[in-house]
């Protein structure tokens, strides 16, 4: 579990940031944002879960 927190969470955070930038660009252009919003919610939930687990494991 610690390996997952150390290696996967930063990768998910980077993908989350790129997704947020893409989401903002789509909002400005007036395009459909359903997929980006869904993936963003999943990634945000994973990041929050990882932070909670990191606190509980220490």
Decide if 11 contacts 47 (C-beta within 8 A). no
- pLDDT confidence bin for 38, thresholds 50/70/90: very high
Question: Which residues have CB under 8 Å from 25's CB, separation 6+?
Answer: none
pLDDT digits (tens, 9 = 90+) for 16-37: 999 999 999 999 999 999 999 9
- In the chain, domain spans: 2-57
pTM of the model: 0.84
């Amino acid at each position: 579990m610690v390996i997952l927190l150390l290696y996967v969470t930063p990768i998910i955070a980077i993908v989350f940031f790129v997704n947020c930038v893409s989401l903002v660009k789509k909002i400005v252009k007036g395009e459909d944002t359903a997929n980006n919003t869904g993936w963003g919610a999943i990634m945000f939930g994973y990041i929050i879960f990882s932070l909670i687990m990191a606190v509980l494991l220490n």
